[in-house]
Amino acid sequence: MTRSNEIADSVERTLDQYFRDLDGEKPGAIYDMVIRNVERPMLEFVLRQANGNQTVAAEMLGINRNTLRRKLTEHRLL
């Protein structure tokens, strides 16, 4: 199993538990919830791996440095 499959499986297990915990209540804003709960720790982890170098972190993430800075600002990581 590849790492990306492991991540996908983890997200699926977590969403399965989320829906079970709803106990019949209507879910809402699932996309935003998942992105918010995955993106921030991912950004923090990659920045640590890049020793705080935003250019290196952006390359590791496969995104533009300006996009990374915007995301860091959105998550109050700057």
What integer pLDDT is reported at residue 3 of this predicted model? Answer: 74
Residue 1 reports pLDDT greater than 70: no
Cβ-based neighbours of 67, under 8 Å, separated by 6 or more: 58
| Residue 78: count of CB within 10 angstroms of its CB | 9
Could you tell me the pLDDT band of residue 2, with boundaries at 50, 70 and 90?
confident
Q: Which domain holds residue 59?
A: 3-74
* Tally of domains in the chain: 1
Q: What is the pTM of this model?
A: 0.80
Find the range with the poorest average confidence among 4-8, 44-48, 60-64.
Answer: 4-8
| pLDDT single digits (tens) 14-46 | 999 999 999 889 998 999 999 999 999 999 999
* Mean pLDDT for the stretch of residues 48-70: 98
CATH number reported for the structural domain that contains residue 48 in this entry: 1.10.10.60
Which residue is associated with the tokens 């170098």? 53
